[in-house]
Amino acid sequence: MDDTRVMLITGTRKGIGRWLVEHYAEQGLMVIGCSRGEKTFDHANYRHYTLDVADENQVRSMFSDIRKTDKRLDVLINNAGTASMNHSILTPSKTVRKILETNTLGTFLFCREAAKLMKKRGFGRIVNFGTVATPLKLEGEAAYAASKAAVLTLTQIFAREFAEMGITVNAVGPSPILTDLIRSVPEERIQAILQRQAIPRFGEFRDVLNVIEFFIQPESDFVTGQTIFLGGVS
Amino acid sequence: MTDISEIYETIYEAIDEFHASKGEGVLEKSPETILFGAGSALDSMGLVDLIVTIEQSLEDKLDVVITLTDERAVSRKNSPFRTVEALAQYIHLLMKEQPDG
């Protein structure tokens, strides 16, 4: 029986998702990625699906394909996310809806479908993505921070619902990292956020990877429902 | 179009698989078997297990991908999870609603 671990990562076209795909494909895992755009990475251990994480039918079809093709899923990393930095009074409802659909509904659907697949083997690791914008209550990020606050609540409740299936559910809350997500945020604003961290520097992909590695290792089977914020934010 | 008898057959196969995974048989393969609510032999986790097994059996046997946790499943006065017969009819309805149904 093939014992290759299978990992699913969302939002893999660019940024940290793309970086994680490369990292884990090189580590020898079978990595499955998805994004709204076409794949930007080729590897013998990588397969890509083009979809919207909030489209239930597309998500269900992808999981059906994974079940038939790979027969298992060991790890889910819910990285896909979108943000809009703007004063709430200037934020259109369409933007709020899009943020909630991608960040919150997308996370919900992927956790639900992953649990169906993972429960068969009685093992699974799910890592969701929060943000320091939630505990820092950042002005100008109301919709984004709220959508991620919901992700943290989902993480805590899924942790309880999935525990008896052998599935742990945790979250990492990155501090600002130099990716497209914060490209439109003014420099002085980013610096002000960094100064509110215990360790006032930009986060790096390796910082996020470090937390993911901790959550997904077999020895972490007694760690669930937790969120680790980077940079000393709490 | 899938005949409802094929849906019953798929549900019964899923019940067999469910029993095999549990190591015990608690559900009779009959349209009247109660799955949810008073009189059911399943606890809430058992119902979740069975529903997931049926979804996957529908994919494998009938090549149809549907989500049984449709909002109507929990909002209907008479839950489609109540009995095997109600569930079969509900699946039949969902399949008819599919674009190529």
Q: Which of residues 45-84 of A touch B (CB under 8 A)?
A: 56-57, 60-61, 64, 67-68
A121 vs B: CB within 8 A: no
Q: Do the Cβ atoms of B65 and A116 come within 8 Å? A: no
Show me where the domains of chain A are located: 6-228
DSSP A53-114: TT-HHHHHHHHHHHHHHTS---EEEE-------S-GGG--HHHHHHHIIIIIIHHHHHHHHH
Confidence grade of residue B25 (pLDDT, cut at 50, 70, 90): confident
Q: What angle do CA A92, A188, A93 make, to 5 degrees?
A: 5
Rounded to an integer, the average pLDDT of A69-97 is 95
- Among A residues 201-220, those touching chain B with beta carbons less than 8 Å apart: none
ipTM: 0.86
Task: Provide, as residue numbers in chain A, all residues whose Cβ is less than 8 Å from the Cβ of B14.
Answer: none
pTM, to two decimals: 0.93
Q: What single-letter DSSP state applies at residue A133? A: T
Report the pLDDT averaged over residues A140-146: 96
- Assess contact for A193 and A1: CB atoms under 8 A: no
Which of residues 100 through 119 in chain A touch B, CB cutoff 8 A?
112, 116, 119
From residue A133, how far is each of A15, A176, A218 by CA, in Å?
18, 9, 30
Q: What is the per-residue pLDDT across A185-234, written as a single tens digit (0 to 9) for each?
A: 788 889 999 999 999 999 999 999 999 999 999 999 999 999 999 999 99
CATH superfamily, with its number, for domain B4-22+29-97: ACP-like (1.10.1200.10)
Angle, vertex CA A181, rays to CA A177 and CA A184, nearest 5 = 105
Residue whose tokens read 């089977």: A221
> Domain spanning A6-228: which CATH class is it, in words?
alpha beta
Nearest CA in chain A to B65: A61
Q: Which two tokens stand for residue B87?
A: 């569930």
Rounded CA-CA distance A39/A14 in Å is 9
CB atoms within 10 A of CB B26: 13
